[in-house]
Amino acid sequence: MNKLEEKEYISKKIITISIISIFITGFIIRLFYFPHGVPLSLDGISYFSYAVDLSQSGKFPVNYDLVNNGWPTFFSSFFYFLKFENFLDYMNTQRVISMMLSCITIIPLYVLTRKFFSPILGLIAISLFIFEPRVISNSLYGITEPLYVLLGVICLALFFSGKKWIYVSFVVLGLISIVRYEGLIFLIPLSIMYFVKFRKENRKIFRYVLCVGILALVILPMATIRVETMGTDGFVSHYIATDQGSVLTVINEKVVQGLPDDDEFPGEEGTNRLPEFIGVGISKIIVNLGLIHIPVYVFFIPIAIFFILKNQKFKKLNYTHATLILVFIFGLLPILYAHGRLISDLRYYLILYPIIILISMYGIEKFQNKIELKKIIVPLLISIIVLSVGFMEYSKSNMQLERESFEITKKAVLMSNTLNGDSLHGSYITTAGIVQDWPELKKPIDVKKSKISTEGYGNLREFIIKNEENGLDYLVVDDIGNGPKYIQEIFNNEKLYPYLEKVFDSKESGYNYHVKIFKINYGMIENGG
């Protein structure tokens, strides 16, 4: 080995050690914020119950309306080999797998970044991702995004890796679509850029048909399974079918025609709400794109934009730049749709984080000519970690409160299958219902517990009377103060409601989280009590 080869070997060794160190640090931070003793909730519990059912029965469940079943299908294979007695061990496994996938993403992200920038910038790029607070938090929920983002980065890295690898990128695109159906939209920008790149080749049509054929072969088995178990393929059906949940149906009937009039799309029946729909979506995107730059990207993005505009970096668009821009634009469309439907969650932006990181690198790259990054790389990485941890500390949940909420909710669901969905306990109603018969996993999970929203009612009597037929027989209220005023009033002035019998007070059982559970006496209500 000559000196040049030795230098290159040492350099690669340092880079490898650096990547491993960043990976380990990122995973340790996730372990530090791991919600010990707190079960999954909301979307996480839906994926959990599906995976348990699949692993125990050995066949795809038929009692779930879960079109994004790629993620639970993936980790159900781990459940199959595990024999835990405590349900939390299974949930923690789901979380750990999610955390690992989130950290593993830095490997294809480094490969992707190196197609544009130096190794040092590649290390900065993967640090921006793995230490991003929202990425960290999301990896603890046990939901789809870590796998979705990982596959998205792999797909882009493969797409830029040469002619043969493009076929593999379409395989990955199929997997992306199985994890989240909106991933199928990325077929459009990748198809456009395919024809741009191979516009001078004679066999481009044949190769493209082959790519699409490969994509179809990947998603067809899952589409068939979904039709057999859920009655819908979960791909095309979610975009163009005539059911009320399809994208085109919602836009046409609810938004354009204004039918029906509901809370999601307020306004007079028959009114074209498309301008408002788009306006709400765009305004929220602008605000949220600003929010996701805090705290990690707050310095890098403005610098990058400044230098891009100053130097007109994208004046002459090349193939890779144009691809990234198109992917980013089409990645915003599902977000626009969600925001237009008044659904706001920053996790929808996670799939765009890799591109945001690459944009950030253009700003940092300019400093390479003025500052030797090797000298400041360690302080810079430490700064990124400090910012990230500081933000996590600021926004972290009260774990003790979460644990007590779950324990109290378990008591509540033993009393009733149907509860009001206010306050902290509402997040764990479904979870508490699922784990009642644990640890035995001898039958498919049947979730019967439900929660009823208290929004849209004028007073407590109206809420109770209208939901008697829905099985509402208990009310759960707490001292946090969520929900409408008439719910909060129960907690503060329980004596004003003789038709409510208090059957549980958490303070009397030694909990810090103060919750009261009341049994509804419908007889007294009917008699004017």
Domain boundary among 363, 395, 427: 395
Q: Is 445 exposed, middle or buried (0-12, 13-18, 19+ CB in 10 A)?
A: buried
Helices (H), 368-474: 373-395, 399-415, 429-434, 460-466
Same domain, yes or no: 100 and 134: yes
Give the domain range for residue 386. Answer: 3-395
Helices (H), 292-425: 300-311, 319-340, 353-367, 373-395, 399-415
User: To which residue do tokens 């890295």 refer?
Assistant: 157
Distance (Å, rounded) from C-alpha 178 to C-alpha 18? 33
Same domain, yes or no: 44 and 94: yes
pTM of the model: 0.88
Instruction: List per-residue pLDDT tens for the chain, 529 residues long.
Output: 555 554 555 588 889 999 999 999 999 999 999 998 888 888 898 899 899 889 888 889 887 778 889 999 999 999 988 888 888 899 999 999 999 999 999 999 999 999 988 898 999 999 999 999 999 999 999 999 999 999 999 999 999 998 889 999 999 999 999 999 999 999 999 999 999 888 888 888 999 999 999 999 999 999 999 988 888 888 877 777 555 567 777 777 777 777 765 666 766 677 777 888 888 889 999 998 888 888 888 888 887 877 777 766 556 667 788 888 899 999 999 998 888 877 888 899 999 999 999 988 887 777 766 667 777 778 888 888 998 988 888 888 788 888 888 888 888 888 887 888 776 677 787 787 777 666 554 444 555 567 788 887 888 888 888 888 888 888 888 888 777 888 888 888 888 898 999 999 999 989 999 999 999 998 887 766 5
Residues 6+ apart with CB under 8 A from 165: 158, 159
Same domain, yes or no: 368 and 414: no
Domain tally for the chain?
A: 2
Distance (Å, rounded) from C-alpha 417 to C-alpha 457? 21
Both tokens of residue 483? 């929900």
Question: CB of 109 within 8 A of CB of 357?
Answer: yes
Same domain, yes or no: 302 and 207: yes
pLDDT tens digits for range 345-370: 889 999 999 999 998 888 777 776 66
pLDDT tens digits for range 77-129: 999 888 888 888 999 999 999 999 999 999 999 999 999 888 989 999 999 99
Same domain, yes or no: 342 and 412: no
Same domain, yes or no: 310 and 417: no
Domain boundary among 335, 368, 395: 395
Distance (Å, rounded) from C-alpha 164 to C-alpha 182? 26
Same domain, yes or no: 320 and 387: yes
Q: Is 130 exposed, middle or buried (0-12, 13-18, 19+ CB in 10 A)?
A: buried
Question: Residue 94 phi/psi, 5° resolution?
Answer: -60, -45
User: To which residue do tokens 């640890």 refer?
Assistant: 439
Same domain, yes or no: 430 and 376: no
Same domain, yes or no: 173 and 193: yes
Overall size of the chain counted in residues: 529
Nearest CA to 399 out of 35, 93, 28 is that of 35
Distance (Å, rounded) from C-alpha 410 to C-alpha 212? 49
